[in-house]
Structure 1
Amino acid sequence: MAVSTINLLEQVLNYANRANPYPIYARMREHPVQRQADGRYIVSSYALVDAVFHNPQMSVDMRKSNEPGIRLEQEEPPFVFLDPPKHDWLRQLVASKFTPGLIDSMQPRLEEIVAELLNAQSASQRMDIVDDLAYPLPVTAICELLGVPRADEPRFHTWSRMLIKGTHLGKDAAAAQEARQGRDALNQYMGELIDKLQRQPGPGLLSAIIHDTGHEKHMSRAELITTATLLLIAGHETTVNLITNSMLTLLRHPQAFELLRRQPEEVLPNLIEEVLRYEPPVQFTLRTPLIDVTLGGVKIPKGAIVMVMTAAANRDPARFENPDRFDPQRQNIEHFGFGGGIHYCLGAPLARLETYIALRSLARRLQNPRLLQDPPPYRESPILRGPLHLPISFERMNVV
C-alpha cells in the first residue's frame, strides 16, 4: 500500500500551485495509486486512468461514496454524474438533438461572433483574451444554442461562479454552501425558463428536448432543469479554459504561433489536441468503486473517493515521449482532455470548433502579440484550471 506522507492532493488544491501543478503530478506518478492521509485515493498513470474510465464498477455518482461531505444533496444530479442505465438514456436524448450537423451549422455564426469581438478591440493595442474573447464567445454560443436569453448572462455568470467555487471537493464548508446557493439559483432560473418554453415553444435545444416526441421516455421537470443547468455551465466554462490555455501556450512558444499563423488549416486540428493533452481545461475527475477494486496492486475499498488525475496521465512518460514538451505536430495524441469511456464529453465537438475559430482568427489578426503577465492570475478552481485573465499587447489588429 502506497500511502503518501506528504498529501500531494492538498498541494494540487493549494492555489499557490495553480500556475504549475505539473511537478506535483510527476511526483504522483512515482506511485500511480496512492492513498492520501484523508482516505482518498489518487490514480495518476495513463494506463490506470484509462482502466478506471472503462471499468463499469467505478461510479460517477458521488452519492454512492462513503464520504458524506462530498455527496450531492437534495435533487438528483445531472446525467454526467449518473451511472447506467439512467445515464445512457438521458445522454442519448440530449445527443439526438445535439448532433454533428447542428454543430457544423453553427460555424458561420461563431465566425461572426469572433469577428465582432475582435473588431471591438481593433483600435487598441491591448486586450484580455479571457474577458474580450474566450468568455463571451462560448457563452454567447451556448445561449443561442440552448435558447437562453443572452441578456441574462450577468445573472447566471454569478451563479455559475458560485457553483464552481464548490469544486473544493467537500472540504470547504463555506465554499460548499456558496455552491449550493449558486446551484439553487441556477435551477430556479432554469425551471422558470423551462415552464415558459413548455407553454410557448421557442428556438433552441431546450425547447426541442422539452417537446421531443420521438422517444419513449421523456425527462421529468427535475431532469430537464438539471440537464439545462449542466449544458449551460459545461457549454462555456471548459471552453473558456481551452481557448485561454491555448493562447497562453502559443505565446510561450512563438515558433508554434508563427507556424499557426502561416498554416492555420493544416496546423490547428492537431494543435488543439496537443493543448488538450498539455494544458487541459479539466485537470481531474472523481469516481467511487461500487465494489472493492484493485488498481496497480492497490486495493481500493467500496465507496472510497478516487481522484482520477487526467492531467497527470496526459503527461505520463510511459505513454508520451517528452511529455512535458509542447509539440503541436505530435502524433498519436490519445489524451484525456475530454475524459474517457461512456462519460466522454458530449460537447467536445463544439468546444473544438469554437477554439479552432478563435485561434485561427487570433493568428490572422494579431500582429506580434506578447504576454503582459506570465504567469497570469488563475481561476480559483483546481479542477477547471485556466487563467482568470490573460492580458496581452500587440502592434495592431489586422483587418481580414
Structure 2
Amino acid sequence: MASAVTYKEWSADSFDALDPAFVADPYPFYARLRAEAPVHFVASAGEWWITKYCYAKLVLADKRLTTQREKVMAVPPRHTSGSCPWTPNMMEQDPPAHDRVRSLVGKVFTRGVVQRLRPRIEQVAHGLVDRVEGDGRMDVVADYAYPLPTYVLCELMGLPALEREQLRAWTTRIHLKFDQAQPPAVRQQGEAADDAAREYLSRWISERQVRPRADLISALISAEDHGERLAFPELLSNLLLFLQAGFETTARMISAGVYALLSHPDQLMLLRGHPELTQTAVEELLRYASPGQRGMERWALEDLELGGKLIRKGDRLSIVLGAANRDPEVFPEPDRLDLTRKHNPHLVFARGTHACMGAFLAITELEIAFSVLLRRLPRLGLATPQPTWEPNTKLRGMTALHVRF
C-alpha cells in the first residue's frame, strides 16, 4: 500500500491517476489536495476537482451549474448502432425535464417495491453462500459481490437469468468510457459496450410493449402522470442507468465493505456482537470506502467563483467523493473506520434534485449482504493481505478479494 511519502513529489497537474500506488491508496493524495487546493483544475482530466465537502455541497445545489453539457457546448447528436436515438437519462437532465422523468419513474420504483424484495434478496444472498460454504474459501468479488445485485436487478427488470453475465460485462466496460484517465482504446470499448447494451434493452422494451409482465420494464412502460408517459428513448436511457448503478456501484461497495471490515478486526468484532448496528455500519462503510470516487459532473452556465478560483462558463466540475467524504471539518478522524459514527452526512448518493433514486435499494442490499455473510461465515478472514484494485479513477473497486472461512 502507498504511504504518504509516495505522494510528496506528486502534483495535481502531473500525477498519474492509473499509477498502482495511487489506485491502491488515493486517500493521502486526496488529503493533500483538499488542504492545499480544494478547488483545482486538473489539466490531464480537463476539469475542476472539488475535494472539500462544503464546496461539493455547493456544486450539487448551485443553479449556475448544469448536468446538461449541451447547454454550454455543441455536442454532436449521438445514435446507437441501431435505430433508437440516444437521449440523456434523468441524471443528465435539469428541471423541468428531470422532474418529469423522475416523477414517472418514482411511481413504480418505490420503497414499497424494495421492501417486498427483501425476502428475495436474502434468499439470493444465502444461496450464494451455499455454493461456496463447503470450499472454505471464495473470491468475494466474483462469488458474492457481483452476483447479488446482478441477480436481484435482473429479476426486478424481468431479464433472463442466462444473460446476467453479459449484462454485467457490458456495464463494467461502460463505466470506463467516462474515465478520462483511460487510454482511448479502453474508452472506445466502453462506447461499444454502451451501444450493445442499448440494443439489447431496446429489444426487451419492444417485447414488453407487446407482451407486458409483472416487472419493472413493463411498469415503466405503463407509468402515467397527468397524461405523460416515458418515450421509448427515455425508457432506454434510464433502464441503462439502473443497470450501471445497480450492478457496478453496489457490487464494488459490497467487496470494499467486506475488505474494510476484515482489515479492522475491532470493528468486525463489534458488528458481529451488535448486529443492531448494521444500518449505521452500512452508512459508515459507504463514507469510508466510497465506491464512486469521482463524478457527479456539472458544467458552468456562467462565470462564477468557487473557493477563490474563477470557474469559466463551459468548464466542467467533478466532485471527488473519496476526498469530500473524508473531510476532517465534517467527519472527526475521517480516516478511521467507526461503525458507531452517529453524524454521517456522506455524499455517496448526492443531494437535492439529483439524489440517487436507487439509494434505498442499494442500502437494503448492503445491509443484507453484510448480515448474511457475517452470520453464515463466523471464521471469515482474508486469504491474501492485499486485494488487487482496478485501474479506474472514477469507480473504486477490486478485481478480486480472496477470503477463507
Q: Same fold (TM over 0.5)?
A: yes
Distance 1:233 1:35, change over 3 A: closer
Q: Which amino acid aligns with 2:38?
A: P
Q: Which amino acid aligns with 2:56?
A: V
**Counterpart check, 1:218 vs 2:229:** yes
1:61 match: 68
Helix, strand or coil at the partner of 1:219? coil
2:27 match: 22
Q: Which amino acid aligns with 1:6?
A: S
- Residue correspondence of structure 1 range 93-242 to structure 2 within 5 A: 93-169=104-180, 172-242=183-253
Distance 1:328 1:147, change over 3 A: same
2:83 match: none
- Residue correspondence of structure 1 range 87-98 to structure 2 within 5 A: 87-98=98-109
Work out the percentage of aligned pairs sharing the same amino acid: 34
CA contact (8 A) 2:168 2:247 kept: no
Distance 1:163 1:72, change over 3 A: farther
CA contact (8 A) 1:19 1:375 kept: no
Aligned length: 388
- Residue correspondence of structure 1 range 1-400 to structure 2 within 5 A: 6-7=11-12, 10-30=15-35, 31-38=37-44, 39-64=46-71, 73-74=78-79, 75-169=86-180, 172-264=183-275, 266-285=276-295, 286-394=297-405
Shift of 1:224: 1.1
Helix, strand or coil at the partner of 1:127? strand
Shift of 1:37: 3.3
Q: Distance in 1 between the 2:362 and 2:188 partners?
A: 30
Shift of 1:61: 2.2
Shift of 1:53: 0.6
Q: Does 27-36 or 134-143 show the bigger shift?
A: 27-36
Q: Distance in 2 between the 1:212 and 1:44 partners?
A: 39
Q: Which amino acid aligns with 1:35?
A: F
1:397 match: none
Shift of 1:233: 1.9
Q: Distance in 1 between the 2:182 and 2:176 partners?
A: 12
Helix, strand or coil at the partner of 2:279? helix
Shift of 1:214: 4.3
Helix, strand or coil at the partner of 1:235? helix
What TM-score, normalized to structure 1?
Answer: 0.92
Q: Which amino acid aligns with 1:316?
A: D
CA contact (8 A) 2:18 2:393 kept: yes
Q: Distance in 1 between the 2:382 and 2:74 partners?
A: 43
Post-superposition Cα deviations, 1:70-89, rounded to whole Å, max 9, x if no partner, equal: x8944222111111111111
Helix, strand or coil at the partner of 2:132? coil
CA contact (8 A) 1:168 1:175 kept: no
Helix, strand or coil at the partner of 1:123? helix
Shift of 1:158: 2.5
Q: Distance in 1 between the 2:344 and 2:237 partners?
A: 33
Shift of 1:190: 0.5
Q: Distance in 2 between the 1:72 and 1:283 partners?
A: 29
Q: Distance in 1 between the 2:96 and 2:294 partners?
A: 24
CA contact (8 A) 2:47 2:316 kept: yes
Structure 1: 5+ residue stretches without partners: 395-400
Q: Which amino acid aligns with 1:212?
A: A
Q: Distance in 1 between the 2:95 and 2:169 partners?
A: 32
Distance 1:170 1:303, change over 3 A: farther
Shift of 1:67: 9.3
Shift of 1:170: 7.6
What TM-score, normalized to structure 2?
Answer: 0.91
Structure 2: 5+ residue stretches without partners: 1-8, 80-85
